[in-house]
Structure 1
């Protein structure tokens, strides 16, 4: 009886140890926002996860090679040092664009970069996933397809039940397994699986990193972020009107929010 109890205890401790460990999934992310068809800039990205937290980052300079970084600098830095959003290359910063999910506290914090870093804190979004019967193999994992709609886009996500966590790339989460591949209906955003490692021996940090010039992070609420996006689009459109007056024949067009940001609140 004692032997059985000891074996049971050892098994429980082993399972608990495995659950508490961290893993990492590397992705190739294609940003084709406003273009579609997965025809856009390609970035390296990853999600680190544990049973109750995840940390995702993309557009981080240390994830890209020297050629990509040189290309990003030449296309995004003006002579005066200011940043230009018009793209022919990668937009990279030291901390990148991040998403931190805390599944126990039901919180999500993130940042985006569109000339400056903007930080947002919100309640962890609830996704209404529809799990289909479609299956395919990604790497060594047998994956299942789930679909959902979220802030203006319909998403398709392939998840691996073998990796028993609710995480994924960006803000996508809530499926019964790690999301290894995901894309929206028009393939404006696209995450492809590259590799997976478990466990990670180095202790991980599940907090958002601030920029070197950011003395303090001021988080916007999701409603404040929505207003920020609307105002940014209006400001860009007003600038186009001024430019159009100086260039006869040019017609300014106000694009929908989905042509500027992953999330559309329209």
Structure 2
């Protein structure tokens, strides 16, 4: 009986530690440089396991769920465009941190494909003596310069994690709050709970691995000439989806009216996102 009890305890501990801890952050953004009064707010998840952590938009998971249900119930005919519009996100990227290798991978969609790069800039924190309390946590202040912004973070050692939202981490505790000195971006921990595992994320289009500098160039090129990323033979020879056709169709260039609408939409989006989280 004693041996069985030990085995049961070992299995319980293994199961407990196998769970993923989800931290929900409220992300506040002023993405339009010409209209700082346009404040966007949405939730994002930081899911942490002993092996890795992943930071991404809550709306992404909700969108994936809606699309999955749409495909299972008859495809485009049952597609709820209004519902999908309501789940649009300003956080179209994800950040994965590998605990063992200490590598950080950034993924973002450009056009119909996902560009991914390994972050090559270390975070050099200055830990200050100032402490306070945020919610239930005693926190300590730290500062760093990253991506052209000066950031202030508040971290806690009340939780057994050395991580944080976005690309932030490397402090002796979990980051409860982070904000830049201009007040354009902030991340505030709202709550946390356990989940069974990391959610499966739908992946549309090709995944293209690049250096960070190449990603920045491609992002700028997309804003200037979005249609070169939507056609065969344009831009960097990137094909739409896995088979080269728009929305899974055949090859060739999209119709002129589609091109015009797409160009107008992307240029409008670029204007609304003229104040990115990283300025350099």
TM bucket normalised to smaller: 0.5 to 0.7
CA distance in 2, matches of 1:14, 1:130: 40
After TM superposition, give the deviation of residue 163 of structure 1 in Å: 1.6
How many residues end up aligned between the 2 structures?
A: 211
SS of the equivalent of 1:126 reads coil
Q: 1:145-181, CA deviations, whole angstroms, 9 ceiling, x for partnerless residues?
A: 1110111111111111122322111111111111111
The answer to whether residue 277 in structure 2 is matched with residue 262 in structure 1 is yes
**1:204 — aligned with what?**
198
Residue number among 147, 155, 158 corresponding to 1:159 in the alignment: 155
Deviation, 1:22, is 3.0
CA contact 1:30–1:38 (8 Å) conserved in 2: no
- Aligned pairs for 1:1-266 within 5 A: 21-35=19-33, 39-58=38-57, 60-63=59-62, 70=82, 73=85, 91-92=88-89, 96-113=92-109, 116-123=112-119, 125-197=121-193, 200=194, 202-204=196-198, 209-211=201-203, 213-214=204-205, 216-232=206-222, 234-235=224-225, 259-265=274-280
Q: Do 1:106 and 1:123's aligned partners in 2 also have CA atoms closer than 8 Å? A: no
Normalised by the length of structure 1, the TM-score is 0.65
What residue ranges of structure 2 are gaps of 5+ in the alignment? 1-9, 67-80, 227-269
CA RMSD of aligned residues (A): 3.8
Deviation at 1:27, TM superposition (A): 0.9
Aligned with 2:127: secondary structure? Answer: strand
Change over 3 Å in CA distance of 1:44–1:63 after alignment to 2? farther
- Secondary structure at the counterpart of residue 104 of structure 1: coil
- Mind listing any 5+ residue stretches in structure 1 that lack a counterpart? 1-11, 75-89, 237-254
CA–CA separation in structure 1 for the residues paired with 2:202 and 2:103: 18
